[in-house]
Amino acid sequence: MPGKRHFPTRRHILKTGALAAGAAAAPSGLEWAAAWAQEQPFKPEPNARLRLLRWSKFLDAEDAATRANIEAFAKATGVEVRVESEWQDDILPKAAVAANTGQGPDIVWALHTTAHLFPDKLVDLSDVAEHLGKRYGGWFPLCEEYGKSGGKWIAIPHVLVGVLPVFRVSQMKEAGFSSFPKDTDGFLKLSQELKRIGKPGGMAFGKAPNDAATFTHWLLWSHGGKIVDEAGAVAINSPETARALDYARALHASFVEGTVAWNDAANNKAFLAGQISFTNNSVSIYGKARADKMEMADDIDHAFWPIGPAGAPTELHLVFPLMAFAYTKYPNAARALIAYLMEKAQYDRLIEASAGYVSHTLKGFGDHPVWTKDPRVAVFKDVGARGRSIAYAGKLGYAAAGVLADDVVIDLFADVVSGQMPAKDAIAKAEKRIQRYYKV
């Protein structure tokens, strides 16, 4: 009909191969989105309008890809979507206010356990999770644990951001190591030798919700320590925790000065300024060095966290779930947008644009070429399979979310490595704080 734009059906796109081609077949994503909108099961309400609150971008390419995906969704479905960005540390308090007042964004792209702080305030997304899981090979167990509460899905784990050791290859070799150590003893020796030759490393012991949390939980878990046991009993007061604190004290002594005061931006700046030889981070340090054509870019690599006395990988990575508040007037539109952002055509574009900064939460997305194109980011492909829940060894819920939000583990290690209190007193202090959440 003259004047009316006709879009191919999703079935036609599949037949012609346009779906597999993704952005190459339809740079705007509009044709694919329109075809998808015809067949997807979550039909938006008439005149739906959504507000999506997300964490501030770390990479311009990721932000551009996400906004392009949302724009295509809006054009294809007629749902108006307003994206609001906030610094990641402000997402939790804003989400908490929204949950308590029943006003605010419809959807939040949050961090970790945010949804578990107010699960009864959220839209049940079980149908979305099951739909996506069947299409794309199922969820990693880690992601399922973060997404579910009381047998239902309260959030959809959108992406993982792996946080791993990042180091200068030449300086590691100068310290006498041909590869990054695979065990905690070797890592301590490397750090001490780097300090001796005047090229120390550094990892955050300060209020850094990403880098300090991943680092200190690795310290605790790698030595066999845990916040609670399998039955949910508080277990922080243990010989294993004391052993982890002893190790942390020795490691901190080999670090550059000031790591107790670092926030999430401090180690990035120090590394890119050439002040430290290693730290822990996502791929963003390497990505920034590449984007700015820094000479050090070719000297940067990543490694898995070393294995400690626990004898197995003990890694904490960042889960960024999408959740929708129950007060939204447009729950189906929210379901549709969340499902759309997880479809392979969009997800592939996001992974490609982020160059390894984000990793997949669905098993079926592990074949993306980004993981083989640059061997320096290849380790990030496996973070979904290697990561532990923040609730280890218990079950994820309000208590574990509260302990994380209260920085209990970060403070435990900071109190000891800074010399503010002996390990025994720091453990007792942490135990009391944890007991308040676990109602002991």
Q: Are residues 263 and 199 in the same domain?
A: yes
| Co-location of 366 and 379 in the same domain | yes
Domain contains 224: yes
Check whether 166 has a pLDDT greater than 90: yes
Residue 319 pLDDT class (50, 70, 90 cuts): very high
Distance CA(25)–CA(19), nearest Å, equals 8
State pTM to two decimals: 0.87
Helix (H), strand (E) at residue 247 = helix 239-253
Selection from 163, 191, 174, 175 nearest residue 256 by Cα: 191
Count of CB atoms situated within 10 Å of the CB of 50: 24
pLDDT band at 29 (very low <50, low <70, confident <90, very high): low
DSSP 304-343: PPPB-TT-S--B--EEEEEEEBTT-S-HHHHHHHHHHHHS
Domain span at 173: 164-315+406-438
Using a 10 angstrom Cβ sphere, with 0-12 exposed, 13-18 middle and 19 or more buried, the burial of residue 23 is middle
Q: What mean pLDDT comes out for the span 402-413?
A: 95
Query: Which pLDDT belongs to residue 8?
Result: 36
Burial label for 232, CB within 10 Å (0-12, 13-18, 19+), is: middle
CATH number for the domain that contains residue 46:
3.40.190.10
CB atoms < 10 A from the CB of 37, how many?
22
User: What pLDDT was estimated at residue 313?
Assistant: 96
Does 365 share its domain with 253?
no
Q: Which has the closest alpha carbon to 107: 67, 49, 151, 43?
A: 49
Do both 151 and 232 map to the same domain?
Answer: no
Q: Say yes or no: 367 and 234 in one domain.
A: no
Quick check: 331 pLDDT over 70? yes
Whether residues 271 and 368 share a domain: the answer is no
The mean pLDDT of 307-317, rounded to a whole number, is 97
Q: What is the length of the chain?
A: 440
Structure tokens at 315: 């890694």
Of residues 425, 389, 426, the one with CA closest to residue 113: 389
Does some domain include residue 63? yes
Q: Report pLDDT for 295.
A: 96
Using DSSP's 3-state secondary structure scheme, residue 14 falls into helix
pLDDT of 135 reads: 95
With a cut of 80, say whether residue 23 has pLDDT above it.
no
Domains contained in the chain, number: 2
Q: Using 50, 70 and 90 to split pLDDT, how confident is the model at 7?
A: very low
Average pLDDT over residues 271-300: 95
Count CB atoms within 10 A of the CB of residue 197.
Answer: 12
Q: Is residue 17 part of a domain?
A: no
> In this predicted structure, what is the pLDDT of residue 56?
81
Per-residue confidence (pLDDT) for residue 227, from 0 to 100: 98
- Domain-embedded: residue 9: no
Residues 297 and 350 in one domain: no
Q: For 295-302, what is the mean pLDDT?
A: 97
Q: Are residues 39 and 129 in the same domain?
A: yes
Does the structure show a pLDDT above 80 at 52? yes
Whether 364 has a pLDDT exceeding 90, the answer reads: yes
Same domain, 34 and 147: yes
**Model confidence over 389-404: pLDDT tens digits?**
999 999 999 999 889 9
Tell me, yes or no, whether 212 and 240 share the same domain: yes
Domain annotation covers residue 113: yes
Please give the backbone phi and psi of residue 50, each rounded to the nearest 5 degrees, phi first.
-125, 145
Predicted confidence at residue 440, as pLDDT, reads 59
Claim to verify: residue 50 and residue 123 sit in the same structural domain: yes
Closest among 323, 40, 398 to 157, alpha carbons compared: 323
**What's the pLDDT at 350?**
86
Q: Report the mean per-residue pLDDT for the chain.
A: 91
Assess contact for 240 and 314: CB atoms under 8 A: no
- Is 395 part of any domain? no
Per-residue model confidence as pLDDT tens digits over 63-95: 888 888 899 999 999 999 999 998 877 888 999
Give the confidence band of 58 by pLDDT, cuts at 50, 70, 90: low
Question: Per the domain annotation, does 275 fall within a domain?
Answer: yes
Q: Are 211 and 305 contained in the same domain?
A: yes
CA distances from 322 to 20, 110, 163, 183, 245 (A): 25, 6, 20, 35, 35
Q: Give the pLDDT confidence of 336-347 residue by residue, as tens digits.
A: 999 999 999 889
- pLDDT value of position 332: 98
What's the pLDDT at 89? 76
Question: Per the domain annotation, does 300 fall within a domain?
Answer: yes
